[in-house]
Structure 1
Amino acid sequence: MSAYTYINNICWKAWHEKIIGLIICLALVVILKNPISIGMMYVVDFIGNTFNITTVEVIDFLNEIYYL
């Protein structure tokens, strides 16, 4: 095997692994989008109630993410 072929195979494998990792991360984001949004809504609401802060805009934004 020539040096060029060896280097090309190494680069292909590294590129392939990065693409697979990106696809797995994207799939996890799509699957876990709703639980993360609901959890963030709970946290924002708790902080808003604790410190008497209006959090309507933040909750509305998280609600939009939930329904995407």
Structure 2
Amino acid sequence: MSDDARQHVERVAGSRRARLTPAPGTDPSPDVAAKDAAASVPAKEQGPNDARLRQDVPPHY
């Protein structure tokens, strides 16, 4: 296996976290088109508890 066929860890100056280079054979650009397509899907009918479930907050918050 060659060294070019792997991801590499890059140090980021002034940051505590490192960054990985894109994996070989992948598209490093964000998947914006899929999110836009999901937003255009019509909403399902809402049930009687949907509004309450969206307002509920887990106890650890």
Shorter-chain TM-score range: 0.3 to 0.5
TM-score (norm. length: structure 2): 0.33
Would you tell me which structure has more helix in proportion to its own residues?
1
Q: Which has the higher contact order (CA 8 A, sep 6+)?
A: 1
TM-score (norm. length: structure 1): 0.31
